A and B are shown apart, each in its own frame.
Chain A
């Protein structure tokens, strides 16, 4: 955008066209098509590739040349009523016209009119809906978001058909002018949250938004925190579930990743499947995840602290074995741990970035590096390999990648602290992390919101996963609309059916 002042259409077609042509100088893919609408000269402007030219021919040019010239409708208002195009808008300013053209719509100008009409005929190549790769489930819907915003919006709309599902659109980015949609369910969400999200979005002023990650970084509460403060997902069912809990979703054109705000630490430790499986399993898996998240954070540092400072805690027979295997190792436990953990991270990163065919080679080499060969070479002890492997596995138990990588990152300062001060250092590190977590907020909601739960009902979906018929209240919404379902939903013989 070169100017901020609004250029209004003039009555003269030629003036408008020359202005548009000047703006679209050196754009080979823009099409200006002149034709006559009755006696009046008219022009349609669109981008090749963003617009369906077949539809232009069939639904604009053909009826225009055939019918309207007979009937003699010569104003835009008359004109658009005669077109077999379902959706159009009148536009008043040049900037609006540029934006509509950029979206792939067809803008039509007529001589003698100080306005234009935009016809929604956008169509471009898009990926088909596939299973989300980063969030796969055993049980649950198999569809994931794609790069086209309207398709994503439609996927949510298909799950929540009520008119209370609101979608507000905002344009962000000076050059990209990316369409961003804030979705929420009115009547469940606190209205102040919507205003907060909107005001944070509108104050963004950068060149372009290419992925929702850029928006995430520009609207989060604490920009220095290592933890993600918005939940990301590529699953429409996750978005729908969160909207029903009184949260808001932010969808961005051009990326399959949607943002959900506000987020708490527990949202990052839950998988959508928890709610689709039986609740005993859901609860058990949830606790497994909590436990291994903890291991992922302190596994190696705990080992380093014990081996360096608190050997008496190890049962004697195990201690003898460990000492035997550590005897040959030239490094202190801390160095050994850092060496192995850094190698592990490098291997993981290499595996992610490489094409799948070469990825296999990495895993073979990796097995040698973190494995028997490393022990045989006398670089690391075998217990260390075990610890690194367990820690690695536990970090993959965290269902959200962004949170998992934060935990993996924090493991390194923890190892240093444990290496220098044993359990005391470990506790210091934990306290510092917890202080940060307790002080952190996501859109005004405490990140670790255990303590705001004065009612135990808030913990129903955190400590355990109670059966759906027990989850009567929504987490953290206003006093209005607290209940998410009718009373007495527990199934059983004699409830609902005839009681056979």
Chain B
């Protein structure tokens, strides 16, 4: 379908940004809710699911080369069952991308443009991303290659700029109440890590000879490091009260003050964040548009870009009545549906693929 190719490095950074942007936005407070002072351990535990899912996606890709999850479903389960499983993925995706777009829009409205209507922001984001998606995976790859490192650098920079403000005793006692709190806390980050299964939409576009498994695993590692750093920043700065903040990392960035001149950098933080967010939404958008086109057996996904974009805009308003409701959804329904769609279904895919084995391989 798509002759455009991305490199292994681009794959890695695309996946990093696809998951990364929102993870540092809301995840620290969810983790802090359960894990308290052990919140930095939770992403490490959660990343297990990331490594696992990337491996599953890679094995599926090796057994069904050149096919995305949607196409694999039809190949493994036949026409009817495959279509039903395909639409499960698509519905999950449109719900997820609606949530992501909404998160960004709420973030911008709450923090910076309080008088601007939400719909306006959502419309702008979706429109901008739709141009990137129409240009294809190669263009998103180039975006990721430039913004991935910038994104990582800015997370690191905020961590380092705040060194003077930290209260390191916040992290004590380590594992004071046993492993359970950090395990519970890891549930939320692990949902983010599970989303790495969508790497299978990009695998067919990776240039021949690239070791996609390594790229994917490296992306998970980067993601884990990023999450640990953000959690450390919030923990050292706010302690357990991180749980009460909506956007803890943004609040942390407000504390940056260098030589009384370089202060109040949150607008720049937001700007860089948005750049990462554009890549993130474009990636989800691309996966969804591509998946829908494959589900409908179309040869090109480009005619679907604008209709899908409209749906994304609408869904991002439908997903929740207000921001509080949306935040409520993440640790409750969101986790459940994610585990079913992103963890159990791929395992099922892999099992069926293993059972049918050589029969499906031509």
Q: Do A and B bind each other?
A: yes
B268 close to A (CB within 8 Å)? yes
Q: Are B274 and A424 in contact (CB under 8 A)?
A: yes
What are 26 A-to-B residue pairs whose CB atoms are below 8 Å? A309-B112, A310-B112, A310-B267, A313-B265, A313-B267, A315-B261, A421-B124, A423-B267, A423-B271, A424-B121, A424-B270, A424-B274, A427-B271, A428-B125, A428-B128, A428-B274, A431-B275, A434-B143, A435-B135, A438-B135, A438-B138, A446-B142, A448-B142, A450-B142, A451-B142, A451-B145
Q: How far is the CA of A438 from the CA of B267 in the complex (A)?
A: 26
Residues of B within 8 A of A446 (CB): 142
Q: Are A313 and B268 in contact (CB under 8 A)?
A: yes
B108 close to A (CB within 8 Å)? yes
B18 close to A (CB within 8 Å)? no
Q: Are B271 and A426 in contact (CB under 8 A)?
A: yes
A65, chain B: closest CB distance, angstroms: 69
Residues of B within 8 A of A436 (CB): 131
Q: Are B112 and A422 in contact (CB under 8 A)?
A: yes
A439 close to B (CB within 8 Å)? yes
Residues of B within 8 A of A312 (CB): 264, 267
- Give a binary string over A341-361; 1 marks a CB under 8 Å from any B CB, 0 the rest: 000000000000000000000
Residues of A390-426 whose CB lies within 8 A of B: 421-426
Please list the residues of chain B having a beta carbon within 8 angstroms of any beta carbon in chain A: 7, 9-10, 108, 112-113, 116, 121, 124-125, 128, 131-132, 135-136, 138-139, 141-143, 145-146, 260-261, 263-265, 267-268, 270-271, 274-275, 278
Main secondary structure, interface of B, reads helix
| CB contact under 8 A between A438 and B143, given known A313-B264, A427-B271 | yes
Q: Are B124 and A439 in contact (CB under 8 A)?
A: no
A295, chain B: closest CB distance, angstroms: 16
Q: How far is the CA of A201 from the CA of B110 in the complex (A)?
A: 55
Main secondary structure, interface of A, reads helix
Residues of A202-231 whose CB lies within 8 A of B: none
Residues of A within 8 A of B128 (CB): 428, 431-432, 435
Residues of A293-352 whose CB lies within 8 A of B: 306, 309-310, 312-313, 315
Identify A438's interface contact among B108, B139, B275, B278, CB under 8 A.
B139
Please list the residues of chain A having a beta carbon within 8 angstroms of any beta carbon in chain B: 306, 309-310, 312-313, 315, 421-428, 430-432, 434-436, 438-439, 446, 448, 450-451, 454
Residues of A within 8 A of B7 (CB): 451, 454
Q: Are B113 and A424 in contact (CB under 8 A)?
A: yes
A116, chain B: closest CB distance, angstroms: 52
Residues of A within 8 A of B9 (CB): 454
Residues of A within 8 A of B113 (CB): 309, 421-422, 424
Q: Are A315 and B275 in contact (CB under 8 A)?
A: no
A357, chain B: closest CB distance, angstroms: 47
Q: Are B142 and A428 in contact (CB under 8 A)?
A: no
Residues of B within 8 A of A315 (CB): 260-261, 263
Q: Are B124 and A430 in contact (CB under 8 A)?
A: no
Q: Are B270 and A435 in contact (CB under 8 A)?
A: no
B326, chain A: closest CB distance, angstroms: 20
Q: Are B112 and A423 in contact (CB under 8 A)?
A: yes
Q: Are B142 and A438 in contact (CB under 8 A)?
A: yes
Q: Are A435 and B146 in contact (CB under 8 A)?
A: no
Which are the 9 A-B pairs with shortest beta-carbon distances? A439-B135, A310-B267, A438-B139, A451-B142, A438-B142, A312-B264, A427-B274, A423-B271, A435-B132
A141, chain B: closest CB distance, angstroms: 36
Given contacts A424-B113, A448-B142, A451-B142, 19 further A-B contacts (CB under 8 A): A306-B267, A310-B267, A313-B264, A313-B265, A421-B116, A423-B267, A423-B270, A423-B274, A424-B124, A424-B271, A424-B274, A427-B274, A427-B275, A428-B128, A428-B274, A432-B131, A438-B139, A439-B139, A451-B10
Q: How far is the CA of A434 from the CA of B124 in the complex (A)?
A: 16
Q: How far is the CA of A495 from the CA of B125 in the complex (A)?
A: 59
Q: How far is the CA of A422 from the CA of B108 in the complex (A)?
A: 11
Q: How far is the CA of A450 from the CA of B10 in the complex (A)?
A: 11
Specify the chain B residue showing the minimal Cβ separation from A318: B261
Q: Are A435 and B275 in contact (CB under 8 A)?
A: no
Residues of A within 8 A of B260 (CB): 315
